[in-house]
Amino acid sequence: MAHAYTPGLRVTNRMKITKKRILPLKGEVVVKVGDRVKPDTVVARTELPGTVEPVNVANILGVPPEDVIEAMLKKEGDMVREGEVIAKSKSFFGLFSSSAKAKISGKIENISKVTGQVLLRGAPMPVEVKAYLDGVVTEVFPNEGVAVTTWGAFVQGIFGIGGETHGPIKIVSKTPRDILSEKEIDNSCKGCIIIGGALVTAAGLQKAISVGALGIVVGGFNDKDLRDFLGYDLGVAITGSEKKGITLVVTEGFGEIMMAQKTYDLLKSYEGRMACINGATQIRAGVIRPEVVIPVENNIQEADEAHMQENVGLAIGSQIRVIREPYFGQLGKVSALPAPLQKLESESYARVLEVEFPDGKKAIIPRANVEMIEE
């Protein structure tokens, strides 16, 4: 029987996780299949071309572009230092001279007799790709990167900022309903991944940065605090490249929203264990979700039964989260799946479901207004 696609976030205590670690440009892979790696292990490296800096030699020397090559003291391919004279011209019987100097240290890449410009290429920038996970190299892509696989607990979030980091899990909020403020954060959080409850305040986030915490996993975050923290409106751009000194993973949504009990209990059960987290998020096509990975020791060759099972979509008893008002952020389970289309308040027709909330109350909600919490 066909079913409508329902987006979902995965929260599971055990699954096989594989991450591709790919260089931005072709380079050198420094590990092989079967190697055990840690999050900080370098698996591949390359060099990005340096920046290009033009020098308008014809304009500086006051000569026609076609005469620039004769005035050059350096040729294409030569290395130069910042401030070094690269071209010189003389005028008025040699009594006066003009010179052009390199703006940066690097290599002369091109001398144009059409524009009179000289292009300087700065020193290449080394780039290293690290394993991110504690696991095993299961595949090598020659000159490009590797795939790293591990078994572990896995939690997907709704939204995040900041890149990849790792550290021991520290439970700070005593319940998934608690608000994480600066009062609960102290120097014991240094180097840790902090687990909060329903919300982290702006002051709490800043305190976490000041004590050296590496990451925060929490139920909600206020959008105004996000704008103030970043200094700009995020829009639909991909996140993950922010350099704010911390990685934030929001599991439920914007505002004060209790972290799902299952998510909180899962993270709490691994307190003290190392977690690898990434705040990178992209909502549009090519969806990227922020994540928490807690590696555990297992045989990488073991079959992943969960991945071998087909996702059958919503069913009676499925755990869901409502993503539209008036029940935004609330968790519940599907208690009925009426087949016929039903008329909504907007006069349109849509497929609906009946959800039962933890307090026993039930509501009829369009299926498009929920997301499934995958086991």
Is residue 9 pLDDT above 80, yes or no?
A: no
In this prediction, residues 313-319 reach a mean pLDDT of 80
Tens of pLDDT, residue by residue over 116-153, are 999 999 989 999 999 999 999 999 999 999 999 999 99
Q: What is the mean pLDDT of the chain?
A: 88
Closest by CA to 16, choosing from 297, 319, 273, 329, is 297
Domain ranges, ordered by start, for the chain:
52-122, 158-289, 310-374
Residue 300's pLDDT band (cuts 50, 70, 90): low
Distance CA 41, CA 132 (A): 8
Residue 2's pLDDT band (cuts 50, 70, 90): very low
CATH class name, domain 52-122 = mainly beta
Q: Tell me, which fold does domain 310-374 have in CATH? A: SH3 type barrels. (2.30.30)
Residue 181's pLDDT band (cuts 50, 70, 90): very high
**CATH code of the region 158-289:** 3.50.30
Tens of pLDDT, residue by residue over 212-248, are 999 999 999 998 998 889 888 876 668 888 889 999 9
Q: How many residues are given for the chain?
A: 375
Q: Could you count the other beta carbons within 10 Å of the beta carbon of residue 270? A: 19
User: What percentage of residues in the chain have a pLDDT greater than 90?
Assistant: 60
pTM of the model: 0.77
Is residue 306 pLDDT above 70, yes or no?
A: no
Is residue 4 pLDDT above 50, yes or no?
A: no
Distance CA 329, CA 323 (A): 6
137 Cβ neighbours under 8 A, 6+ residues apart: 31, 32, 33, 34, 35, 37, 43, 131, 146, 147, 148
